[in-house]
Amino acid sequence: MPPLLELSEVTVRFGGLTAVDRVSFEVAAGEVCALIGPNGAGKSTLFNAIAGNALIDSGRILFRGDAIHGLAPHAISARGVRRTFQNGGLFAHLTALENVLVGLHTQVRSGFLGLLVGAGKSYRGEAAATRRARELLALMEVEPVADHLAAELSGGQQRMVEIVRALATDPPLLLLDEPAVGLAPPMREKLGRIIRRLAAERGIGIVLIEHAIELVMSISDRVIVLNYGRKVADASPAEVRADKKVLEAYLGHA
């Protein structure tokens, strides 16, 4: 069986700057893989390349054995690669539940407006989507705020709802861009526990960019370290902690 995600010698350039330099790695179903490195290491560019928001100059990106590099972001998303963004992306004037329904609209014939206002009286589809959305909110332990406006939620709750929306279509692969940014330690621990559950119980492959190093080391199966666009380590958390190249590039000492 091919890996869920496979990057082979991926290079991305912006003018004369090489942002990602011949990076290769694989991610299996049910695996949590973290990308770490100092600012400017190429992590976000690599995420954008996987999701179709940046074109690669050479190499290849395969999802379930099929090439996805060069496809539009919506086409890659439709294949089952979903992502969150560092700066969030919820609709502030919609409730948490309605934000999740946005992620479900492609699966319901009544369409997005029908989900929100009942256009055409498509109650059966609307009820099924609402039930599914509430189940996902419960999975992420934020169902109690389902009917609250996104603008009223705490930063941690907004992060959870954003992940729920990305999960709405049962994606095989989830890309999380700094999911713990700004979270207090208790919420960070809760997030880590849920990420592990998504991988272990649902078999979702998860790739995350994260600066909270303790979270990374506690939830990841593998840690990939980038520096100046190049991969300098790809190993277990324990092995990465002991790697001199990582200590020099990321932690600032050997």
The CATH number of whichever domain residue 246 belongs to comes to 3.40.50.300
Which whole number is the average pLDDT over 20-34?
98
Identify the domain boundary among 123, 150, 170: 170
Based on the fold, state whether residues 72 and 189 are members of the same structural domain.
yes
Q: Which one-letter DSSP state was computed for residue 42?
A: S
Residues 137 and 249 in one domain: no
User: Cα–Cα distances in Å, from 117 out to 110, 125, 172?
Assistant: 10, 12, 30
Q: Same domain, yes or no, for 74 and 193?
A: yes
Q: How many domains does the chain have?
A: 2
- Which of 170, 202, 232 marks a domain boundary? 170
Let me know whether 100 and 55 are in one domain.
no
| Tens of pLDDT, residues 174-196 | 999 999 988 888 889 999 999 99
Q: Which domain holds residue 113?
A: 90-170
Q: Which pLDDT band, with edges at 50, 70 and 90, does 198 fall under?
A: very high
Q: Please give the Cα distance from 23 to 28 (Å, whole number).
A: 17
Q: Is the pLDDT of residue 126 over 90?
A: no
Q: What are the tens digits of pLDDT across the range 65-103?
A: 999 999 999 999 999 999 988 776 789 999 999 999 988
- 94 and 216 share one domain: no
Interval 131-157: pLDDT, tens: 889 999 998 889 999 999 999 998 888
Please tell me the predicted confidence (pLDDT) of residue 252: 58
Query: 244 burial class (0-12, 13-18, 19+ CB within 10 angstroms)?
Result: exposed
* Cα(134)–Cα(31) distance, integer angstroms: 26
For residue 186, being part of any structural domain is answered with: yes
User: Of 135, 170, 205, which residue is a domain's last?
Assistant: 170
Q: Is residue 115 scored above 70 in pLDDT?
A: no
Whether residue 177 sits in one domain with residue 51: yes
Indicate whether 96 and 166 sit together in one domain: yes
Place of tokens 């593998």: 222
| Domain co-membership, 251 together with 192 | yes
Same domain, 55 and 105: no
Residues sharing a CB contact under 8 Å with residue 225, sequence separation 6 or more, in sequence order: 36, 37, 231, 232, 233, 234, 240, 243, 245, 246, 249, 250
Name the phi and psi angles at 27, rounded to 5.
Answer: -130, 130
Residue 85 falls within a domain, yes or no? Answer: no
